[in-house]
Structure 1
Amino acid sequence: MPMERLLASTAIEESWGESEPVLFLGEWCRIYSRRHKWEALDAVVAPYHWADRTKVDGDRVYLWELHERLLVDLAARFNEIHGVEHGIQYWRILVGPWLGYFTQALFDRWEQIQSAISSFDVSETVVLRGLVDARCASDMDDYLGLGNSWQWNHHLSAEILTGFTDVGVRSIDIGGSGPALTPEDGDPALTPLHRAAIWGSSVLRLFSKASDVVVTNACLRSAKTEMLLQWRLGQSPVLTPVEPVDRCLFNASKRKWVLDPGESRHAGFDECLRSLIPRFIPVSYLEGYRSLVAQAEDLPWPSRPGAIFTSASHFFDDVFKAWCAERVERGSPLVVGQHGGHVGVGWSFNHDHQLAIADTFLSWGWSDPEEPKVRPLGMMKDPVLDENSESPGSRVVLVMGNETPQVASLSSSALSSQFLDYVGAQIHFIEALDWRARDALLVRLSRYDLDWCLGKRLADRLPDVELDDGCRPVLDLLGEARLYVATNNGTTFLESIFLDVPTVMFWDTDMWGLTHLAKPAFERLSRAGVFFDDPIRAAGHVSEVWEDASSWWADPDVREAVEAFSIQFCRRSPDIVGDVRQELVEVRGRP
């Protein structure tokens, strides 16, 4: 007879019961630095439902189709609640990022819980009451922070367990305990030069025209480059800092509604989602909507912009999104620029969303015959190495990626518990290096650990390996690199190839799946010994070439593969500002 176990959904130890057998919902429950606690328990970990990548692919299609249906239903409901008549695209721009993130996060928790209780004999679960983060987000930026809170994730799982399963509940009143799982440091303060530029912008804005192109968070090389773009557009160069959302109070009485049920092959989940959306949707879209719109209309920005260009604000900046949605509905075109790596090489909800809202998408070089919105330009944040960099460097620099312990949104990457498989691959790679390459190795950790305790894990397993804490810019490390090792489908390998730093890449293509556009380029890199899908073979190659990496990098077959890849995914433009300007001029001139 199977042993009954208490289901624990997060790393908050007060939810693990007294001393009974425990079923951990996922590896995120077992923080490495607290292993003396969980190793002492009679505990097992539920297998992760998205370990099956075929399921990931099917769920991606289902979740996007569901997202589209929800947008229609939520737009109708919000038009009724707020007494407005906005179209789907308006609400997609304003609410779409949150709706997609919340739907995918809830589905991940739902599927994991359903899998756990169907595979194990679950006796009950502990629900903690009074947690500080068990609340509704104030806006999208706040939601992204709450998504990295164990308390909020415990609260979300508790909503599923108490409302949509037969699992028994043991409630415990508690106050604000448990790890916060938030980044250690906030955003860096503005420099005096940046503050002066913002002040100067407020003066120059007096000379702006109502039809100027609005450029904000363009993710060019610098604020100076952003202002140069505007000058070359023939308009007053101004900086548009992110405006924090004016705070409004949560009002439970305004949330006593549900979205009408829809047809779904996941009827139970659909019911859960449609009942929880009114309870979890950020205050800025409901109680604070009129205040948000008023704040957006009060911005000193052009009233009828010829175009709107951003590479980041369309996700997290609710004030911008409210302003942008209104202008797009009035006819202003929205141009979105590629913000970083993964785009074009892998798939993600983020990219699906930005293609859905953009009139034009400016890529770092790739194009898609099935998507005419995409315009291949080049790396808009074209990196440069410090003039004092060694040439060549002396180190083998391996940069590790990072993922949230619980899924925030769906993408072709190591999802949740799978991140530990990724960490294991890095350890296998390092252990397989010969001693000379290993002596030269520097492993850069992510600045934000998110409770994975990577530094501690690696130091325990590989005490002789030098670790960098992630606070130094990657470009500084690339300047010291004789050979750079990329370990996931992110941004840094695009930067290293752009800068012509000898680069070896390896990752599991089942996790970091490649798009049909990228597969031919990666097959070519694989034949040239630049890309590997196996850490042991990658380590053997690095051990062989690292001492004279420049000669290997100059090999004709390697050059041909790398240059073809660079043109497609990290193209160098002789005048990227001019290229962006030309695209904006063309968009502005369309009827």
Structure 2
Amino acid sequence: MTTSPITTLILGTAPENATPADFVLAGPWCTAPASAEEAGFDMPSEPLADPDRLETAARQARQLVTQLAPRLRDALNERYGTQHDDRYWDFVLAPWLVRISETLIDRLHRAAGILDAFGGRTLTVPLLPEASTFTFADTQDFIMGGILNPQWNHWLFSRLLRRRWPAGWTAEELPPVRRDASPRKPEGALRRLARSVVFSLPFPRIKGFGLKQSLDLSLVLMLNRDRRDDTIPLRLLGEPSAPPLPLGFTEDEAFDFAASLLPESLCKASIPLSLGHERARIRSRVVSVAACEDDAYRIEMALHRGRGCRMIFIQHGGEYGYVKTSVAYPLVEYCQHRFITWGWKRHGAMPGNFLPLPHPQLAALRGRHRESSPTLLFVGTEMALLPYTLKSMLRGRQQFAYREDKARFMAALPDAIRTQAQYRPYFDVPSSLEDAPWMLRRFPDIIRCAGPLEPHMLGCRLLVLDHAGTTLAQALAADIPFLLYWNPETASFTPEALPLLDKLREAGILHDTPESAAAKAAEVWDDVPGWWGSVRAACKPWASQHALTNNDDVPHVWKLILKDI
């Protein structure tokens, strides 16, 4: 009788000499940026690849955030000797609680998948002890040094898998590790002062608005005396019907987990003992999206929110309004007094206070496309192997097929067009698949697009996108001829977005395979303006909802609206 060889399960980072014969992996991040899938390593299937399972996980996260917020409010008020109410603590805690809840629930589902895939095998499993210590300076440090850090994930998976340890597994206890907080590099005194002044305005500097416009709109907000407050408290945004957490993880355990990882930015020195004025002197403020990850700025704005000031958030990129699933959008931004959109008034079933307005960021691009070179510009998006949200986007192992589709598109282009192509990779994210170098090794005749993207977009002959995001909205505003492709089996959009995308598919703009998109590029290449003129009208329904521009005086429109909300 022979016994199968003992294999090692890697939860964090695989050794450089690891081979599929001796190691199995908890996930594709274990060999990032190398391609674990290409090397043939055995891994669990992607646990939340199915859109319905992802939405269930998001419901679990939304429920968990709304359960933990009041418990942390009470615990922090007691710890710091404060008496701040939900208005203050909801604003301070929501972005961080969303991140930690999304991550915990994603990793719970992954741990369950690891047990399903490998629980019946004989394995050695190197584990990090629970006594390991990880500290974080702020929310951004938690994202970079925790969520996207294979070592922190190794520690978390070690902790989760101990809950249902299979009989055939042997634990190999590793020494404890320590990760200290890594604060951002300090700003110079003048830069810090300038940033403080600009962010303290009722209407701070927002992309697309000049300083004069910010000052003008700040004055409008200072004159607004309306006392309606449509903010939706976190306690009303839960999902009581969400199923229990995987592996029997409880709310109490989740509270202890979250409390143990509170970043230094939420320490006593950062939280004011008193909110000062009984009532907010300025009734409404626009908040920069930086508040989602800049804890110091968010805590400063929470002072105003705690006094009753109503907060207004503004859409700052694509995906808002049409991705099917999100945790952060309804709990952090949509629930504020107003969320100003790029045209849409509804995001599936997500609750929110939506206000569509033409945005200067898009208005500045209106009709500006002028071909300056016969370039095909191909723009990709991120390929993170350690997911850091529960949002509708490709996850983990799905990134391998997504990247392979890029190569399929380039290979299907005629040689004459491929030599005119430029590839724009996403910016570097830790624990991501290799991007531009991978593409350029396979297609040395294409050029890497570097520098600001906007001039390249405005001067290309044809833009190709393999995702729906901010670049799509910019292309629509600037009237740039474009093609889209993605796999409809992995794409996940709201019901109201699907008919708009069908119009793009019927016009030959949206394709279901990279080869079909490449064939269309070859078909229209010699007369892109003529083709674009024949299909442009199909873009109008999507543009009116997700890239709203018009001939109005945009700053004047904002003045009229902000004085009454």
Q: What residue in structure 2 maps to residue 156 of structure 1?
A: 156
Paired position in structure 2 for 1:291: 269
Partner amino acid for 1:280? Answer: L
How is 1:246-395 mapped onto 2 (pairs within 5 angstroms)?
264=244, 266=246, 268-270=248-250, 272-285=253-266, 288=267, 290-294=268-272, 304-346=281-323, 347-368=325-346, 373-382=353-362, 384=364, 391-395=371-375
Please state if 1:58 is matched with 2:61: no
State percent identity of aligned pairs.
Answer: 20
Maintained 8 Å contact 1:220/1:226: no
Specify whether residues 372 and 160 from structure 1 end up closer, same or farther in structure 2 by C-alpha distance, changes over 3 A only.
closer
Q: Secondary structure at the match of 2:426?
A: coil
- Measured after TM superposition, the shift of residue 337 of structure 1 is 0.3
AA in 2 matched with 1:538? A
Would you say the 8 A contact 1:50–1:56 is kept in 2?
yes
Give yes or no for the alignment of 1:71 onto 2:38.
no
Say which SS state the counterpart of residue 463 (structure 2) adopts.
Answer: strand
2:228 alignment partner in structure 1? none
Contact 1:525 1:562 in 2 (8 A): yes
Contact 2:51 2:492 in 1 (8 A): no
Question: Matched residues in 2 for 1:173 and 1:586: separation?
Answer: 60
User: Per the alignment, in what secondary structure is the counterpart of residue 484 of structure 1?
Assistant: strand
Counterpart CA distance in 2 for 1:154 and 1:525 is: 43
> How has the CA–CA distance of structure 1 residues 476 and 385 changed in structure 2, closer, same or farther, with 3 Å as cutoff?
farther
**1:65-104 to 2 correspondences below 5 Å:** 65-104=63-102
Answering whether residue 460 of structure 2 is matched by residue 481 of structure 1, we say yes
Separation in structure 1 between the aligned mates of residue 308 and residue 334 of structure 2, nearest angstrom: 16
Aligned length: 531
TM-score w.r.t. the length of structure 1 is 0.79
1:507 equivalent in structure 2? 486
C-alpha change, 1:349 and 1:578, in structure 2 (3 Å) is farther
SS of structure 1 residue aligned to 2:500: helix
Aligned mates of 1:188, 1:455 — CA distance in 2? 31
Cα separation, 2, equivalents of 1:31 and 1:333: 43
Q: Deviations over 1:253-311 (max 9, x none)?
A: xxxxxxxxx993546223653332222222333xx1x3112499799xx9622211024
Unaligned runs of 5+ in 1: 206-211, 236-261
- C-alpha contact (below 8 Å) 2:60/2:244 kept by paired residues: no
Residues 265 and 402 of structure 1: CA distance in aligned 2, closer, same or farther (over 3 Å): closer
Correspondence for 2:207: 219
Alpha-carbon distance between aligned partners in 2 of 1:359 and 1:386, rounded to the nearest angstrom: 29
Question: Which residue of structure 2 aligns with residue 126 of structure 1?
Answer: 126
What is the rounded CA distance, in whole Å, between the counterparts of 1:74 and 1:434 in structure 2? 59
CA distance in 2, matches of 1:233, 1:295: 27
**Conserved in 2, the CA contact under 8 Å of 1:213 and 1:305?**
no
Classify the secondary structure of the residue corresponding to 2:362: coil
1:296 and 1:436 map into 2 onto residues whose CA distance is 68
Q: Please say if residues 296 and 323 of structure 1, whose CA atoms lie closer than 8 Å, have aligned partners that are also in contact.
A: no
CA contact 2:221–2:283 (8 Å) conserved in 1: no
Return the structure number with greater relative CO, CA threshold 8 A, min gap 6. Answer: 2
Structure-2-length-normalised TM-score: 0.82
**Root-mean-square deviation (Å):** 3.9
Paired residue for 1:252? Answer: none
AA in 2 matched with 1:454: D
Which residue does the alignment assign to 1:10?
12
Q: CA deviation at 1:63?
A: 2.3
Gaps of 5+ in 2: 224-241
CA contact 1:334–1:357 (8 Å) conserved in 2: no
Is residue 12–residue 151 contact of structure 1 (8 Å, CA) maintained in 2?
Answer: no
Distance 1:13 1:165 in 2: 24
SS at match of 1:416: coil
